[in-house]
Amino acid sequence: MRILLVEDDVALGEGIRTALKPEGYTVDWLQDGASALHALGCESFDLCVLDLGLPRLDGLEVLRCLRTAGHPLPVMVLTARDATSERIAGLDAGADDYLVKPFDVAELKARLRALLRRSFNRPQPALEYRGICLDPQSQAVSYEGREVALARKEFLLLHELLAQPGRVLTRDKLQQALYGWDEEVESNALEVHVHHLRKKLFPELIRTVRGVGYMVDKP
């Protein structure tokens, strides 16, 4: 689950990001409106947490552009001002939910969950593949009926792979799913995770495509 966080306040941004990470989200964080708009155009996210008071391009403006372009992405707006007019403007511009600062992080999490649930309003179908069942809701995986305990990165990796069987996912693409685009990893961590998955499930599950990446065969 990939989230774009747009927040210029460094302390708050860091706070939100660290709060969200353990939930299993991959958080990419930008600090101004222009970059955000740009990133939204180029990359794909599942959700955006958007502060309104931003340098270079106001959050409201970003939101309006996004909606004008017909982008359906769920957006959670953060606003420091609790002036009613502000909020109304936000919702008018196409926000799906808003939160007034200061807020409780727990509430943010809860609302994000709700938002995601609503937006993927089908209850996020569990992925099934050759005896493996992966449920995004509960972040649980089972193999032939028995629970398999996966670590967070392992889960993300498996999710990514199972979501597109029959396609090679480049190393890079996978790394992006596990890490944001900062925090790049400088080692063979990916290989290690793959190894762990193969061990916990079964080795043939993940096929390596030499020089390119990994894939799961079509069912």
Query: First and final CA of the chain: distance in angstroms?
Result: 23
163: amino acid identity, one letter: A
Least separation in angstroms between CB 194 and DNA: 5
Looking only at residues 176 through 195 of this chain, which bind its own copies when binding is defined by CB under 8 A? 176, 181-182, 184
- Applying CB under 7 A, the span of 9-17, 72-80, 159-167, 198-206 interacting with DNA comes to 198-206
By CB under 8 A, tell whether 166 contacts its own copies.
yes
Of 171, 173, 200, 202, the residue at the interface with DNA (CB under 7 A) is 171
Burial of 23 (0-12, 13-18, 19+ CB in 10 A): middle
Of 44, 85, 138, 187, the residue at the interface with DNA (CB under 7 A) is 187
Looking only at residues 27 through 46 of this chain, which bind its own copies when binding is defined by CB under 8 A? 38, 42-43
Distance (Å, rounded) from C-alpha 210 to C-alpha 60?
A: 46
Least separation in angstroms between CB 28 and DNA: 15
Distance (Å, rounded) from C-alpha 193 to C-alpha 202?
A: 13
Q: Is the peptide bond before 22 cis (omega within 30 degrees of 0)?
A: no
Residue 99's DSSP bridge partners are 78
Of 79, 154, 158, 177, the residue at the interface with DNA (CB under 7 A) is 154
Binding mask 111-140 for its own copies (x = CB under 8 A): x-xxx---------------------xxx-
Phi then psi for residue 122, to 5 deg, are -75, 145
Phi then psi for residue 218, to 5 deg, are -60, 145
Q: Which residues are at the interface with DNA (CB under 7 A)?
A: 18, 21-22, 149, 151-154, 171, 178-179, 185-189, 191-195, 198-199, 203, 208-213
